[in-house]
């Protein structure tokens, strides 16, 4: 069935169609809601979001738009390829209700890609079988930056209601401003105090009654991308990684995407994540369980020069930078960034974008009574 889906995508050129449609809505949104003062702030941030991704807070004015111009469509296409690969290998969860958690979302390219992939699969099943097993797609995310969460809220609303055709295709990216601001605050069993008033008929008085209710968050797919860039960060978020894997549903998938792990910097990061997830205890009073690695050091790539997606990414960057500088590139751009920019748009520019994917599958079953 998955092979048929891939052939259907290729025959109808649907990955590229979805790429172009999102790109059109994204650039339209950025250009429509930008004034001259905002343009200046964005120009001042291009260099930061290119060279200082690991150190800036992403809450400064102009950062979200600058990051979106330079990185959004590239990241979106990477995740198109990631989710297609997972689906081809038969490890992407496909079920009636799919609950997804995206950690460190930024402006949300991974969420738009997963929304599109599941919606395409649903459309494929309906076309072939008249009905799809996928009935409901829910996405939650955790993102610290107010700039990014505000962007996500407004852009998703714009993308879903920008023209008459949007009723045919809605993105499942949430409108809410993240379930938790900080990954440190991530809780899968969240307790709430509920107060209500009850009337006591015998005494003829009202009393306040307090109850504790627990909101349980369980997911079929969790995605972590370009977030943990050194071993110290992995160790700092040890508990959050354990909990994310622990509270996946049976056959749930935890996907970690980042830089190629062959470097001295990133290999220890992936090794530490392996230790945390694979050696975690998944046993409870009622269930036995474990996580096993179903995709290891899987390297992927596409080209900026020999690939139409890559060419469109470069074209989007060129148009975006030109728009925000009012075509005054030399006057308004940092010299180092301008040097990089001119290199990208040169006719002979040739670069392959490479990244790595690791995936872990959760298994659980009821314990046998002795």
CA distances from 88 to 40, 77, 225 (A): 44, 16, 20
Residue located via tokens 């979001």: 49
Sequential DSSP letters for 25-63: HHHHHHHHT--HHHHHHHHHHHHHHHH-TTT--S-STTH
User: Is 131 a member of any domain?
Assistant: yes
User: Is 200 a member of any domain?
Assistant: no
User: Is 91 a member of any domain?
Assistant: yes
User: Is 198 a member of any domain?
Assistant: no
For the chain, how many structural domains are there in total?
A: 1
User: Is 213 a member of any domain?
Assistant: no
pTM: 0.91
First to last CA, the chain: 41
User: Is 267 a member of any domain?
Assistant: yes
Residues 172 and 116: their CA atoms lie apart, in Å, by 8
CA 75 to chain centre: 9
3-class DSSP assignment, residue 267: helix
Average pLDDT, the chain: 90
pLDDT tens figures, 249-288: 999 999 999 999 877 788 999 999 999 999 988 988 888 9
Burial label for 98, CB within 10 Å (0-12, 13-18, 19+), is buried
Predicted confidence (pLDDT) at residue 317 exceeds the cutoff of 80: yes
Q: At what angle do helices 14-32 and 109-129 cross, to 10 degrees?
A: 140
130 dihedral zone (left: phi>0; alpha: psi -120 to 50; beta): left
Residues 317 and 296: their CA atoms lie apart, in Å, by 32
The DSSP H or E segment spanning 18 is helix 14-32
User: Is 44 a member of any domain?
Assistant: yes
Window from 206-215, 222-231, 305-314 with minimum mean pLDDT: 206-215
pLDDT tens figures, 109-143: 999 999 999 999 999 999 999 999 999 999 999 99
CATH number at 51 reads 3.40.50.150
User: Is 197 a member of any domain?
Assistant: no
Q: Domain span at residue 47?
A: 2-189+218-366
The DSSP H or E segment spanning 177 is none
Name the residue among 159, 57, 62 with its Cα closest to residue 108: 159
Q: What tokens appear for 156 in the block?
A: 């998703």
Contact 118, 134 (CB under 8 A): yes
Contact 276, 238 (CB under 8 A): yes
In percent, the amount of the chain with pLDDT more than 90 equals 72
Residue located via tokens 């003062």: 37
Residues 235 and 247: their CA atoms lie apart, in Å, by 19
pLDDT tens figures, 322-350: 999 999 999 999 999 999 999 999 998 98
Which stretches does DSSP call E strand in 97-183?
A: 97-103, 136-142
Residues 356 and 6: their CA atoms lie apart, in Å, by 21
CA 223 to chain centre: 7
Whole-number pLDDT of residue 214: 63
């Amino acid at each position: 069935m998955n092979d048929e889906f891939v052939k259907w995508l290729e025959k109808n050129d649907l990955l590229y169609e979805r790429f172009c449609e999102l790109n059109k809505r994204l650039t339209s949104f950025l250009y429509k809601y930008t004034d001259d003062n905002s343009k200046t702030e964005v120009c001042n941030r291009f260099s930061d979001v290119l060279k200082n991704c690991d150190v800036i807070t992403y809450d400064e004015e102009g950062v979200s738009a600058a990051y979106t111009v330079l990185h959004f469509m590239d990241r979106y296409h990477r995740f198109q390829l990631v989710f297609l690969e997972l689906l081809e290998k038969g490890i992407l969860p496909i079920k009636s209700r799919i609950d997804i958690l995206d950690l460190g979302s930024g402006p949300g390219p991974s969420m738009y890609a997963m929304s599109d992939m599941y919606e395409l699969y649903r459309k494929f099943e309906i076309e072939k079988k008249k009905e799809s097993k996928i009935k409901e797609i829910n996405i939650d995310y955790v993102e610290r930056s107010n700039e990014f969460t505000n962007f996500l809220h407004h852009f998703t609303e714009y993308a879903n209601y920008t023209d008459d055709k949007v009723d045919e295709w809605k993105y499942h990216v949430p409108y809410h401003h993240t379930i938790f601001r900080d990954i440190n605050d991530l809780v899968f069993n969240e307790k709430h105090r509920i107060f209500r008033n009850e009337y006591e008929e015998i005494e003829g008085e009202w009393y306040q009654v307090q109850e504790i209710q627990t909101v349980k968050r369980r997911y079929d797919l969790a995605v972590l991308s370009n977030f943990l860039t050194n071993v110290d960060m992995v160790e700092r978020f040890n508990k959050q990684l354990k909990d994310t894997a622990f509270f996946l549903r049976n056959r749930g998938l935890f996907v970690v995407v980042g830089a190629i792990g062959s470097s001295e910097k990133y290999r220890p990061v992936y090794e530490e994540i392996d230790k945390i997830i694979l050696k975690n205890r998944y046993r409870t009073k009622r269930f036995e369980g474990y996580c096993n690695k179903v995709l290891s050091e899987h390297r992927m790539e596409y080209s900026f020069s020999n690939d139409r997606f890559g060419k469109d990414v470069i074209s989007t960057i060129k148009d975006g930078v030109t728009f925000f500088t009012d075509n005054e590139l030399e006057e308004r751009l940092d010299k180092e960034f301008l040097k990089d920019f001119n290199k990208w748009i040169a006719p002979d520019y040739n670069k392959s974008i490479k990244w790595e994917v690791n995936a872990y599958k959760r298994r659980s079953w009821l314990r046998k009574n002795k």
